[in-house]
């Protein structure tokens, strides 16, 4: 028997990202509201399922980053059963994860965020997509992008049992290992990935950094916010996407806190606003001060840029060089310009590829010891990984049979809800003055702010046409609609 809870149609936006802009008496922006109907229903649906199903169920939260949910769920389920997987299992899971990261970051740069840059700010609208990018960078490069995705999917299939939606993680490890033959294939693909990552960084250097208009845009004030930054680090404070502790630095780059996954609730709280169903995570010990920048505001960001900012470096050599070049070019740490996220994403792409090869050549990677049978009674567990778009937290409570009784998820993009709102506000404010609305450029500037975060708003639906168009409504001080701008 399902109980239907009716949600007001205005906020149940059916996949739309809806932005409401309120103007003041002078015709300038008074406030912007970015509304999202996040599918929190997932946490209810999972209650009553055996916890070992969670890596399979949470796969289906998203069609683009199922691997991230799978890993966070796997780690949470391990903790629920108080079992530590054998070293080989951890190596294999991280290896799968690095291949996934390469695929995801590649796709974002070339197909999603990249068009903003590679095409040039004055490129016609119809060219600002992957087709335009291929046209500009050449067919060979387009072919490399597809190749990178293919290799990534292959590795996920070999270790994870299935392309895109892995199914081999169970509490205590994996259901299978890999053969030497498979290992060789994986290593070869990884070496190709390293070259491809370096190629991508060079492309960015030539096309983006070589274009003054873009450099000005990156360094400009419109996308600049001084906030806290979050990322998962190993014991040397080097970025690790699969395991470690979560480190947060303040707007000046100083470490603010470093917490173990099980302690996340002591440090992260969620603020509620009446006009949206998604809550705003913030740093508990700083407090919620509103949608503002600065050290006294608990707003934090979790993105590739955040990870670079909250680290002391990258654990692999070529990526470390790029990390140093990144900061010396942009004037030191931390970097606050949101558009630099695209560059940071490419540094991470290189790290993921290098780490892929490191793991594929580890002597223990083909060991048959890939599972430890749990023996303790299941209770509660937290699994945290870095999803490409931010720190991902899965928290499960179960009964003594391992049946889920409660679920809490803080999805990558959720961390960034406040920063995204602030970026949209700033972009809109700079383009709407004295009631003059510049339509096309404004939507582009807002979308650019949005896209840099590589957001994922529970896009778990595949209903045709399956989209998340943007709708921007501009209202006068009384709330009357002046104009509605739509995309898609």
Partner 1 sequence: MKTLIIGLGNPILGDDGVGWKVAKELTALIDPDTSVEIDCASLGGLSLMERMLGYQRVIVIDSMETGESPEGCVKVFPLAALENQYAGHLASPHDVSLTTALQAAQSIGAKIPTRVDIVAIEAKNVYDFSDDLSLKIEKAVPLAAEEVLKLLDD
**Positions in the binding site for partner 1 (CB under 8 A):** 2, 12, 14-15, 17, 39, 41-42, 44-45, 57, 60, 62-64, 107, 111-112, 124-131, 134-135, 139, 142-143, 146, 149-150, 153, 164-165, 447, 450-451, 454-457, 459-470, 487-488
What residues contact residue 26 under an 8 Å CB cut-off, 6+ apart? 434, 435
Residue nearer to partner 1 on the CB measure, 210 or 469: 469
Each residue of 206-225: b (16+ CB within 10 Å) or e? Answer: ebbeeeeebeebbeeebbbb
Query: Cβ of residue 135: shortest distance to partner 1, in angstroms?
Result: 8
CB of 12 to partner 1, least distance (A): 8
Taking a C-beta distance cutoff of 8 angstroms, is the pair 415, 230 a contact? yes
Q: Output 191 or 487, the one with its CB closest to partner 1.
A: 487
Q: What's the min distance (Å) between Cβ of 461 and partner 1?
A: 6
- Cβ distance to partner 1 smaller for residue 147 or 367: 147
Q: How far is CA 421 from CA 30, 33, 292, 296, 386, in A?
A: 14, 7, 10, 18, 22
Do residues 280 and 295 lie in contact, with contact meaning Cβ atoms separated by under 8 Å? no
What is the closest distance, in whole angstroms, from the C-beta atom of residue 457 to partner 1 in the complex? 8
By C-beta, is 56 or 197 nearer to partner 1? 56
Closer Cβ to partner 1, 45 or 199, answer by number:
45
439-452 and 417-431 helices, crossing angle to 10° = 160
Which residue's entry shows tokens 């951890």? 90
Least gap, CB of 298 to partner 1 (angstroms): 25
Query: DSSP class of residue 5?
Result: -
> What whole-number distance in Å separates Cα of residue 16 and Cα of residue 18?
6
Residue 5: Cβ-neighbour burial (10 angstroms; 0-12, 13-18, 19+): exposed
Closer to partner 1 by CB, 243 or 454: give it.
454
Distances (CA, A) of 418 to 73, 137, 197: 25, 35, 31
Minimum distance, C-beta of residue 121 to partner 1, in the bound complex (Å): 14
CA distance 239 to 242: 9
Between 48 and 210, CB nearer to partner 1: 48
**Nearest Cα to 416, choosing from 384, 462, 451, 385?**
451
* Distance of closest approach, residue 60 Cβ to partner 1, in angstroms: 5
| Tokens found for residue 236 | 């040397």
CB of 125 to partner 1, least distance (A): 4
In 424-453, which positions are buried (b, 16+ CB within 10 angstroms) versus exposed (e)?
bbbbbbebbeeeebeeeebbbbbbbbbbbb
When the beta carbons of 291 and 457 are compared against partner 1, the nearer one is 457
């Amino acid at each position: 028997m399902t109980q239907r809870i009716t949600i007001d149609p205005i906020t149940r936006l059916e996949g739309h990202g809806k932005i409401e802009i309120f103007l003041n008496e002078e015709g300038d922006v008074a406030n912007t509201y970015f509304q999202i109907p996040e599918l929190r229903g997932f946490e209810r649906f999972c209650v009553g399922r055996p916890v070992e199903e969670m890596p399979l169920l949470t796969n289906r939260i998203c069609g683009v980053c199922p691997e991230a949910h799978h890993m966070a769920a796997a780690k949470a389920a391990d903790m629920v059963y108080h079992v530590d997987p054998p070293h080989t299992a951890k190596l294999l899971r991280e290896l799968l994860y690095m291949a996934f990261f390469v695929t995801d970051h590649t796709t974002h740069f070339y197909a999603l965020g990249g068009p903003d840059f590679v095409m040039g700010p004055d490129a016609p609208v119809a060219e600002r997509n992957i087709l335009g990018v291929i046209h500009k960078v050449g067919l060979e490069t387009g072919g490399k992008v597809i190749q990178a995705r293919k290799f990534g999917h292959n590795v996920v299939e070999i270790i994870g049992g299935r392309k895109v939606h892995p199914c081999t993680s169970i509490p205590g490890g994996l259901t299978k290992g890999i053969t030497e033959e498979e290992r060789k294939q994986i290593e070869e693909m990884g070496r190709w990935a390293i070259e491809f990552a370096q190629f991508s960084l060079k492309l960015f250097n030539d096309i983006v950094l070589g274009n003054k208009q873009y450099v000005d845009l990156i360094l400009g004030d419109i996308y600049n916010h001084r906030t806290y930054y979050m990322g998962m680090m190993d014991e040397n404070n080097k970025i690790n996407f699969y395991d470690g502790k979560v480190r947060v630095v303040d707007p000046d780059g100083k470490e603010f806190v470093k917490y173990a996954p099980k302690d996340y609730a002591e440090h992260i709280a969620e603020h509620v606003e009446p006009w949206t169903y998604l809550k705003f995570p913030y740093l508990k010990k700083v407090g919620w001060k509103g949608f503002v920048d600065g050290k006294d505001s608990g707003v934090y960001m979790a993105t590739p840029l955040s990870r670079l900012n909250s680290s002391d470096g990258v654990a692999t050599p070529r990526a470390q060089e790029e990390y140093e070049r990144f900061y010396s070019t942009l004037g030191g740490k931390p970097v606050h310009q949101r558009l630099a996220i695209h560059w940071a994403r490419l540094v991470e792409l290189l790290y993921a590829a290098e780490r892929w090869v490191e793991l594929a050549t580890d002597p223990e990677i083909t060991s048959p010891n890939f599972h430890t049978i749990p023996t303790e009674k299941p209770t509660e567990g937290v699994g945290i990984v870095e999803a490409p778009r931010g720190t991902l937290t899965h928290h499960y409570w179960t009964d003594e049979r391992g049946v889920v009784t409660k679920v809490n998820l803080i999805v990558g993009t959720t961390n960034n809800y406040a920063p995204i709102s602030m970026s949209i506000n700033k972009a809109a404010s700079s383009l709407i003055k004295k009631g003059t609305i510049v339509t096309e450029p404004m939507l582009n500037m807002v979308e650019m702010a949005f896209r840099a975060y590589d957001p994922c708003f529970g896009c778990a639906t595949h209903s045709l046409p399956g989209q998340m168009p943007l709708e921007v409504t501009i209202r006068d001080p009384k709330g009357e609609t002046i104009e509605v701008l739509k995309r898609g």
